[in-house]
Structure formats: C-alpha cells, structure tokens
C-alpha cells in the first residue's frame, strides 16, 4: 500500500515509518523536521544520537533493502505543495503525526501556545481540505490523545473508545443517543486534539473522508525491532522537562543517579503504551479502515494504567534510586483513578508489551549507554500551567 | 465601561459599537476591514452605501457628541500589537465579532475554507492567550452561532442554551451529568464556532477567563436606532449569494422584481433575530457577566423560528413576488423542525422585534431606495457544499 507518514521523523513517526516499510508498504515520510528544530531552540537533544534524516533513510535501505522516500514539507503552511504531492503519489493511507506533541511545551510561553494551536489545527485542516480538493480516498490514521477525555465519569468506569451512550433529558422524556465523549483537555496541546476531533467529524459527514483517530496514552520505551537494527536507525529518547515523558524520565534519572522527580502527590493515574505497540497499533489501524460515510473510527491506543507514584516506586526498587516529590506545574487533580477500554485493538490482535518487561533493558541499553550526552540542567520541568 | 469591539466595522459589529457608545460606554473598534476587502475580491458591495470607517466614526461624533476610537489590527496575526493595546487601554469587556462569518464563503474554495479556519481559530486563540499574558480580567462576549447545535434531538424538543442534562450509561449504572451540547456543524464556518467553544471551555477552566458565548440565529434587518440617524452611519445590507442572509435576500429580490429564490424544498427551519435585538442582547450580556472560574455562559440569541418556504410565502403575499425553487447547494436535510430555548435573554428583559414588524420598511426604505446599486449577477448562490 502507498502510505504517507506525516511527521515521520518524530518519536512515533520514525519507528512507524520503518515498521510499515518492513512489512512491505511503499512509505513516504513528509516532515518539516520541526521536532529537531525545537530541540535547537530549547538547547537540548535526544539522549540517543539521531542521525540526519537522509542518513537514517540510507541506513534503512542498506539494512533492509527497502526504500523510503522523504519530502521536506510543512503541511500546516505549504498547502500548494501538499496538493502537488497528493496528486503525484496518490497515497492510499496517510498516517498523521504532524503535530506539536508536548503538553508542557504547549503551556510554556504565549508563543508556544500559539504555535501549537496554529500548527496543529492548520496541519489537520489542510490535510482534510487537500483530500477533498484532490478527490483522494485515502484513509487518514491520526494520532489523538487519551487527554481528550479528561479522566472519565468516575474512577471505576472505563473510558470508552470515543463515543458514549447517553439518555438526553428533554421535556418529552429521555432520548437515547450515542455521542462523542465530551472533551475535557488538560493543556493547550490536548485541546488541539479535541479540535481535531470536531474537524474529523465534519469532514467525514460532509465529504465522506475516512478517518481513524487513535487516542494514545503516554509512550514509553525507545526501540522497536526495526530501529534497533543499526545505531543510525535509533529512535529519539527525550528526557528534558518539556518533551520527556514521565516513565522515560524516571529511567534516565535512575541511570544517572538523579532522584526520580514526582510532580505533586504522584496520585495521578496515566495510561501507557510501549513504542513497539504503537507501531503495531498503526499497522492494525491501516488494515481496518472505516467505510466511506462512517463517523470517525476511534480506538484507545494504550495497554495499561499506573499511578505515577507507583511507577517511581517500581523503578526505585529495581535501581535503588531515591524519589523526590516536587510541586506540580500542571493544573490538575492531585489524584485520580483511570480505567480505559481498549477492547478494539485487543480484539484485532494486539499483544501488549507489559511495563515490567523492558524496563531494565531501557536503563542499561539506552539511558546508561548514552549518559554522557545528558545535560542535567534540562531535567527540571519548568513549564507552568498557570503563571504565579 | 471600557469596551473593545473586535470586528466593529462589520454587519453586527458596527451597530453594536454605536449602541454601546450611545448608552455611555467608552468604545474602541478593532478591525482589519477584512469584510470590505472580501467584497472587493467577490466583486460585490453592500446594497447600502458604506462610508469609510473614519467617516463613519466622525459622523457619529458629530451626531452624538460621542467619540469612538478605531484601531486597524488583525487579531489573528498581529499578536504583539494586540498585547500592546490591551496593556495600553485595559478594556473591561471585549466583544468578539472578528471572525469570517459566511457559511457559503467558508465552503466556496479550498482557499476560503482554509482562511476561515485559520482566521477564526487564531483570532479566538490569540484573544484568549493575550488575556492571560496581560493578566486582563475582561469579560469576553463572543458571537457564536445556532449552527453549532445542528437541529437538536427531535423536532419538538427545544435546543437548550449550551448545555444538556444527560444520563451516561456505564457498567455501574447511569451517571447524571450536565455537558456541552454535542457539536453538529453544517459548514466549515459553523465548525469554527464549535472549535471556539472548546477553546473557551479550556481557558475558563485553566485561566479563569470570563466568557459569554452567544449562539445567534440568522440576522435580518439593516438599521438600528443609532445607524438610522444619518445615511453615513448606515449598516451593511448584503444580498449576494455568499454573504446575503436568506431573509434580506428575499427582501431585496422582492424590491427589484426578482423571484424569491428558495434552495431545496424550503422545508428547512431556521432561527432568526433582528439586528436591533442583536445590539440589545450584547448590551444585556455585558451587564450580566459570569463569575471568574465559571464555565462559559451560553445564551441562544434568537427570537423566532420559521421555515424558509413560509418566509418566502409571507414576502410573496406582501409584495406579489414569485417564488422560484432551486437545487440546494448545501448538504443538509431537506426539511427539519427547530425549537429553540431563549429563556435567558427574555428573563433579562429582551423585548423581541417580531418578523412582520419591519418587513415592508426594509423593502421600501432599504431595498427599493438603493436598487440602482444591485448587480443581479451576484444574486445566485454559487458556493457548493460538495463539488459534483
């Protein structure tokens, strides 16, 4: 299948592009390298050494014999070129990772709030608008976020996959309906994913675009089968206060003997998924497109939930690291429960990588191996949700 | 009160600015004159002759003795200047009309879809972001649209004001909740108003911004008490296929002996409000702000509903015009019922202008008076929701 991976140079995009190429798809990466450029601005770098995109692709060709194309293009701005490449290549599936994906970065400055909204909304809308203009019947697989939901109706009720059944109270009695789960985002970044949902709903209704929206949990781990075949294929490992995700930050902290930094009580429960399962989920989603005219198909792309504090304790036990409790820069409940329905991916064959499996491998093979690349001044989380 | 009217040169903005000035507020219009510039591109003009903004404001000063300030600024793009004027003037209320407001225009070309999304989303988000950055506790009064709702749950159930009571079905039984009415927009324009809602919800929650969102029906009529005091103060009357609203188009068609153009069966029911009531509603909204930390306050700003066909028949009876049924360029149900709850504005003292009241005055004083300015080639509605 001809597949475009928008944002195919990023943390989820790169391993996805390799995996889809490995299983035989004709993959084109479309990326403006914005993630690398934000690193430059933030004066930080991936813990793992990332080669230039052309070197990544050349290495993949040498290792696998497979060719990935690469187009440098900003889909949020270069609409005319987007039309050109859609008409030239006519992709059958489009994986859309091309959004600013850090919640702390989206709350850091007015400029980063505005960049996140402008970039993410226009990226998604340009994509949809271009599909209509090119009369292109490609299946859009979009990376959403578990953060669109907030934390559900009660601690013990599972968050359903996208839609909820309700009875609407009216003067004429209760009317049963299935509706999109109400949005309750916790950051400007997560808010943009809720805006995406409404754009998908409109364009599926008006133009019969086929969309699958994947509400992903927090990704942990670094390598997939494909990225581990050569050091030049290695995936990003972000450890800084903005782009580092909580579990990878703990692993890095454990490796260098830095205390595990828990923000707030640690009673916050989050949903997780290993990067290896992310790429499998994308593969499954591509193989199971919705029909034309159907509402957006929504899957919850996560495999387990954990309280932050318990994760810290687990890693502390494995590594002997101390735990340090810091004030929480986010505006959120001090603790929450979280149960998530992910029945659809399980039914379609996903075999989850459980959290304990690869933890020490991450500490040894990634965090310890590259610890000379760490800038400890970049570890603290400095983006505040509300300025004091 | 110090009030900014964003989009204060437009069809709703200008009479609102005059009315707020008349009742004693210190009004500043912020507008990039985009509505006038779109007229140039579409090669069309308001039926009524619109004087340059400075002449409008000078005339108002001479007539009323009151001074309105004017700042030419694009809030969707000129963020730094927006910050400067917020800090300089510190407005206490901000009326936000600064969005592209035509549904047909928003569906006309890929470029107009993209402009509508980019302009409207960034306008609203820049405003919210700037309020936070300037630590400005101004009450935001935003013009939303009845179109965010679709047409409700059943033909006879009133559309509530913003929020609905539901019972969420969960494995643990039904959980009662009040949630934002699900979004069901019928055009890219209406979709942007549903995106606005989610941005308001986030910024009220995270930053305690005070927001009132007014879901307005289709405006009819031209003049308010203030705009009718001098011809140089006259309000816009759009009759073209993109910006002309249905009732004003019928009035113009009646005046020139053109058939009343009904698109589709005419069984579509719409909500209406007179421009005189629009300005009263804004006054009422300003006087009744929500508290800090409250969710967005939502009012339905309409006074009556009518089927399109019945409106055509009413005007046909008054004027002798013929009715012509054309194919419907929109993707929508051929007929719908519509009942709308507007209890809040009525309780706060709104005395609606009913539709029959000013109809013939519009035909005689506006449409007939300026009929030499009509370009009949601009009457047909040519923007298609789905290209054939």
Helices and strands counted in chain A (H then E): 12, 14
For residue A357, what pLDDT is reported? 81
Distances (CA, A) of A265 to A310, A324, A328, B171: 11, 10, 8, 29
Query: DSSP secondary-structure letter at A50?
Result: P
Residues facing B325 on adjacent strands = B262
The yes-or-no verdict on residue B151 having pLDDT over 90 is no
CB contact under 8 A, B386 and A206: yes
CB < 8 Å to A121, chain B: 117-118, 121, 195
Residue A267 lies in a domain: yes
Per-residue model confidence (pLDDT) at position A69: 98
Residues of A in contact with B153 (CB under 8 A): 168, 170, 175, 177
Where is average pLDDT lowest: A6-10, B154-158, B170-174?
Answer: B154-158
Inter-chain residue contact A172 with B154, CB threshold 8 Å: yes
Nearest CA-CA partner of A96 in A192, A212, A218: A212
Which residue in the set B129, B156, B164 is minimally distant from A168, CB to CB? B164
pLDDT of residue A364: 86
User: Residue B198's closest CA among B97, B127, B121?
Assistant: B121
Classify residue A383: in a domain, yes or no.
no
Please give the pLDDT value at position A152: 77
Burial of B356 (0-12, 13-18, 19+ CB in 10 A): exposed
B345 with B284: CB under 8 angstroms?
Answer: yes
Per the CB < 8 Å rule, is A182 touching B183?
no
Collapsing DSSP to helix, strand or coil, A227 comes out as helix
> How does DSSP classify residue A65?
S
Does A388 touch chain B if contact means CB atoms closer than 8 Å? Answer: no
Burial class from Cβ neighbours inside 10 Å (0-12, 13-18, 19+) for residue A8 reads buried
Contacts of A125 in chain B (CB under 8 A): 113-114, 117-118
**Residue among B174, B180, B185 minimizing CB distance to A182:** B180
Say yes or no for a CB contact (<8 Å) between B183 and A201.
yes
Residue B385 belongs to a domain? no
**B234 and B222 Cβ atoms separated by less than 8 Å:** yes
pLDDT value for B388: 74
Report the predicted TM-score, pTM, of the whole model to 2 decimal places: 0.97
- Nearest C-alpha neighbor of A250 from the set A324, A352, A327, A353: A324
B chain contacts of residue A106, beta-carbon cutoff 8 Å:
none
The pLDDT of residue A300: 98
Residues of B in contact with A127 (CB under 8 A): none
> Comparing C-alpha atoms, which of A241, A277, A257, A254 is closest to residue A361?
A254
At B356, is the pLDDT very low, low, confident or very high (cuts 50, 70, 90)? confident
pLDDT of residue A369: 95
The shortest C-alpha distance from A9 to chain B (Å) reads: 25
Q: What region, left, alpha or beta, does residue A21 occupy, with left being phi > 0 and alpha being psi -120 to 50 degrees?
A: alpha
- Is there a domain that residue A386 lies in? no
Number of structural domains found in chain B: 1
Query: Nearest Cα to A130, choosing from B388, B119, B111?
Result: B111
| Facing B157 at nearest CB: one of A172, A201, A386 | A172
**Contact: B154, A167; criterion CB under 8 Å:** no
- What is the ipTM for the molecules in this complex? 0.97
**Domain housing A15:** 2-376
SS3 A11: coil
Write the pLDDT tens digit of every residue in B258-300.
Answer: 999 999 999 999 999 999 999 999 999 999 999 999 999 999 9
Specify the pLDDT at position B114: 98
Do the chains contact at A110 and B154, CB–CB below 8 Å?
Answer: no
Nearest to B202 among A154, A175, A191 (CB): A191
Asked whether the beta carbons of A125 and B114 are under 8 A apart, the reply is yes
The values of phi and psi at residue A274, to 5°, are -80, 145
Do A114 and B198 count as a contact with CB atoms less than 8 A apart? Answer: no
Chain B residue closest to A133 (CA)? B110
Residue A64 in domain: yes
**φ, ψ at B23 (rounded to 5°):** -85, 10
Spatial separation of the C-alpha atoms in residues A175 and A186, rounded to whole Å? 30
Q: What is the pLDDT of residues B181-226, one digit of tens each?
A: 999 999 999 999 999 999 999 999 999 999 999 999 999 999 999 9
A79 contacts in B (CB within 8 Å)?
110, 114
Q: Which residues contact A24 (CB under 8 A, 6 or more apart)?
A: none
- Using alpha carbons, select from B182, B124, B287, B24 the residue that is nearest to residue A175: B182
Q: Is B84 touching A (CB cutoff 8 A)?
A: no
Placement of tokens 């409106």 in the chain: B311
Interface with A, mutate which of B104, B115, B117 (most A CBs under 10 A): B117
Chain A touched by B343 (CB under 8 Å): no
Neighbours of B43 (CB within 10 A): 10
Could B169 and A168 be called an inter-chain contact, meaning their C-beta atoms sit closer than 8 Å? no
Contact B368, B229 (CB under 8 A): no
**B331 falls within a domain:** yes
* Positions in chain A whose pLDDT score sits under 70: none
Over 80: is that where the pLDDT of B155 sits?
A: no
- The three-state secondary structure class of B271 is strand
Partners of residue A205 in chain B, C-beta under 8 Å? 331
What was the pLDDT predicted at B245?
93
The minimum CA-CA distance between A192 and chain B, rounded to whole Å, is 9
| Gap from B311 CA to chain A (nearest CA, Å) | 27
Using the Cβ of A168 and the Cβ atoms of chain B, whether some distance falls under 8 Å is answered with: yes
In angstroms, the CA B140 to CA B95 distance is 6
CA distance B2 to chain A (A): 25
Please answer yes or no on whether A132 and B118 come within 8 Å at the CB atom. no
DSSP type of residue A262: E
Q: Residue B280 contacts by C-beta under 8 Å, 6 or more apart in sequence?
A: B19, B350, B351
Look up the CATH number of the domain holding residue A333. 3.40.50.720
Among A107, A136, A195, most B C-beta atoms within 10 A, so best to mutate, is A195
Q: In this complex, which of B191, B206, B385 lies closest to A386 when CB atoms are compared?
A: B206
Task: Kindly state the average pLDDT of the residues B131-141.
Answer: 98
Q: Among B234, B318, B204, B249, which Cα is nearest to B18's?
A: B234
Distance of alpha carbon A86 from alpha carbon A92, whole angstroms? 10
Whether A278 is in a domain gets the answer: yes
Across the interface, of B168, B174, B386, the residue whose CB is closest to A207 is B386
Contact B182 A179 (CB under 8 A): yes
Strand ranges for A82-216 from DSSP E: 93-96, 139-143, 163-170, 173-180, 210-216
Helix intervals (H) in B163-274 = 188-207, 246-256
- Could you give the CA distance from residue A162 to residue A297 in angstroms, rounded to a whole number? 8
> How close A203 comes to chain B (CA, Å)?
9
User: Which residues have a Cβ under 8 Å from the Cβ of B229 and sit 6 or more positions away?
Assistant: B63, B64
* A193 inside domain: yes
Cβ-Cβ contacts under 8 Å for A384 (sequence gap 6 or more):
A107, A329
Task: Look at residue A362 in the predicted model and tell me its pLDDT.
Answer: 87
Q: Mutate which of B175, B195, B197, B293 to disrupt the A interface (most A C-beta within 10 Å)?
A: B195
**Cβ within 8 Å, pair B79-A114:** yes
Is the predicted pLDDT of residue B353 greater than 90, yes or no?
yes
Place of tokens 């454990």: A254
Taken in order B202, B205, B210, B214, the sign of the CA dihedral is positive
Interface subset of B 102-131, CB within 8 angstroms of A? 110, 113-114, 117-118, 121-122, 125-126, 129-130
The encoded tokens of residue B280 equal 């009263």
Which tokens belong to A304? 């387990």
Q: CA of A361, closest CA in chain B: separation in Å?
A: 38
pLDDT score at A360:
84
pLDDT at residue B171 in the model: 85
With a CB-CB cutoff of 8 Å, which residues 205-244 of chain B face chain A?
A: 205-207
Task: Report which DSSP code applies to B162.
Answer: S
Residue of B nearest to A106 (CA): B129
Q: DSSP H helical segments within chain B, as ranges?
A: 13-22, 34-42, 53-64, 79-89, 103-106, 110-133, 188-207, 246-256, 275-287, 308-319, 343-347, 359-361
- Predicted pLDDT of residue A21: 98
């Amino acid at each position: 299948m001809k597949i475009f991976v928008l944002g195919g140079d990023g943390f989820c995009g790169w391993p996805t592009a390799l995996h889809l190429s490995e299983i035989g798809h004709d993959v084109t990466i479309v990326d403006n390298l914005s993630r690398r450029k934000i690193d430059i601005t933030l004066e930080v770098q991936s813990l793992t050494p990332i080669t230039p995109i052309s070197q990544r692709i050349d290495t993949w060709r040498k290792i696998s014999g497979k060719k990935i194309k690469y187009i440098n293009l900003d889909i949020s701005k270069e609409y005319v070129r987007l039309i050109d490449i859609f008409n030239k290549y006519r992709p059958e599936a489009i994986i859309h990772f091309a959004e600013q994906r850090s919640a702390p970065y989206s709350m850091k400055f007015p400029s980063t709030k505005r960049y996140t909204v402008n970039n993410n909304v226009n990226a998604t809308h340009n994509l949809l608008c271009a599909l209509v203009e090119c009369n292109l019947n490609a299946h859009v697989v979009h990376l959403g976020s578990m953060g669109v939901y907030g934390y559900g109706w009660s601690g013990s009720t599972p968050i359903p996959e996208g839609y909820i059944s309700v009875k609407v109270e009216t003067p004429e009695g209760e009317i049963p309906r299935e509706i999109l789960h109400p949005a309750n985002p916790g950051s400007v970044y997560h808010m943009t994913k809720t805006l995406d949902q409404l754009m998908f709903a409109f364009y599926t209704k008006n133009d019969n675009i086929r969309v699958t929206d994947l509400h992903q949990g927090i990704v942990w781990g670094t390598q997939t089968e494909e990225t581990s075949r050569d050091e030049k294929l290695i995936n990003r490992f972000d450890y800084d206060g903005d782009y580092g995700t909580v579990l990878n930050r703990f692993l890095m902290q454990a490796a260098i003997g830095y205390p595990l930094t828990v923000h707030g009580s640690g009673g916050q429960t989050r949903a997780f998924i290993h990067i290896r399962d992310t790429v499998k989920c994308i593969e499954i989603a591509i193989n199971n497109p919705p029909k034309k005219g159907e509402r957006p198909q929504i899957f919850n792309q996560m495999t387990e939930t954990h309280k932050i504090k318990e994760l810290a304790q687990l890693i502390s036990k494995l590594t002997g690291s101390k735990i340090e409790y810091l004030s929480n820069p986010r505006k959120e409940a001090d603790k929450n429960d979280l149960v998530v329905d992910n029945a659809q991916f399980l039914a379609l064959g996903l075999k989850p990588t459980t959290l304990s499996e690869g933890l020490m491998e991450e500490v040894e093979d990634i965090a310890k191996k590259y610890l000379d690349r760490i800038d400890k001044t970049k570890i603290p989380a400095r983006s505040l949700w509300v300025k004091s």
